[in-house]
Homo-oligomer: A and B are copies of this chain.
Amino acid sequence: MQMVLSELIVGQQPSGEPAKVPLIRFKNGDGPRVYIQANIHGAEIQGNAVIERFLQLCRDNAPKGNFVIVPMANPIGINQKSGEFTLGRFDPISGDNWNRQYHFDADAIRAFAQQNIYTPENRVKAAFQQLLLQQLNHRLQSPWGLKTGQQMATSLQRLATEADIVLDLHTGPISDRHLYVPEFARHQAKRFNIPLNIIMPADFGGALDEAAFSPWWQLSQTFKRLGRDFPIMVEAFTLELGSQELLNPSQAQQDALGIASYLEQHGCWDDGTHQPEVVTQHACLLKDYRSLYSPSGGQVEYLGELGQPLIQGEPIARIWHYHKLGQTGPIHEDVTLPCDAIPVLHFASANAQQGTELYKVLTNTFPL
């Protein structure tokens, strides 16, 4: 199977150097259009390792479909160091999160649905995709220019908008593997074989997964209000595949198998071709995916084990106040949660301010 390589220019640095993103394309027979992206946050490199393993699976056994693969999606963020670490979560100039710059203007949906109430499904799909691309092109051609992160995101989003399936590979800070699942695709999501799952509504918040599925979900809902049943034609997921600043090749192999297993449901391979190790899967609703903020500033022992259920009242973190060393009495405080929870990720440093996001946890969990 022939992999075609090219580069996408997503910006230009002060030095004049273009910000270049590598693109890999291949296709084979009839199958879905699949878009897979990794590393839009500069420190979250594990997705590239998963792509490396996934490409190997594709070489070993050519999948059906049309693939666009985008590793190393953010050349500005990847190169942005501050101390030893990669400061690639937000634009260092503006503070804008690189994964909140995608675009969707919901205002056009109602008119579009009304005009296309009797249009055949396939033609609706093509026309709506066209509409979304026009929105992006219009944005890119503004006489006022476009913000750095918007330029990058919109350039990538043009590729993603042509896909039926969009997978955006991320990691957390210190993190167990978890998955953002649009509610309508909950059944399909199981095959990724990711232990912790967050079920999302149809809203758009600026991330790539939402930018990919929200328009189609909202179109479906709008048609429904007009009396037409119309399927949601795009599935999109954000996969959080472990911790930032780490390469874990053996876990990458498992997650490549999970992605392949998911894609089998869409006909890319025969069902059962890939067999990732099965894990127990927990889920909760997005509104029940909670952040715990530090009640004080200090040095943190992270007691809550990632992925392991924690009973209300059990300490999840111990905050040491070493500036009180030498005082009699305890110089630490234990932090508990107001309900049962499963820790998903924790802060990457043991040095926390009051208000630092110490943990994110699933609450009110249920099996996926």
Contact = CB atoms under 8 A, between A and B. Distances in A.
A347 interface: yes
Nearest to A97: B95
Given A92-B82, A355-B149, A52 B325 contact: yes
Interface stretch (A118-126, A220-228, A275-283, A297-305): A297-305
Interface secondary structure of A, over-half rule: loop
A40 interface: no
B348 A71 contact: no
A29 interface: no
A348 B357 CA distance: 21
Contacts of A95: 89-91, 95-97
A256 to B, nearest CB: 13
Contacts of A247: 299-301, 320, 350
Interface in A140-186: 143-152, 173
Given A12-B296, A245-B351, A326 B85 contact: no
A115 interface: no
Contacts of A91: 95
Given A79-B79, A93-B84, A147 B15 contact: no
A16 B245 contact: no
A275 to B, nearest CB: 24
Interface stretch (A42-50, A128-136, A194-202, A207-215): A42-50
A205 B74 CA distance: 28
A348 B245 CA distance: 8
Contact of A13 (B148, B150, B353): B353
A251 interface: no
Contacts of A85: 82-85, 348-349
A297 B13 contact: yes
B173 A84 contact: yes
Q: How large is the interface on A (under 10, 10 to 19, 20 to 34, 35 or more residues)?
A: 35 or more
B322 A72 contact: yes
B355 A15 contact: no
B16 A17 contact: no
Contacts of A152: 355
A78 interface: yes
B84 A349 contact: yes
A75 interface: yes
B325 A22 contact: yes
12 contacts: A5-B327, A13-B79, A14-B79, A15-B75, A45-B299, A52-B322, A52-B325, A55-B326, A69-B325, A72-B322, A144-B338, A148-B353
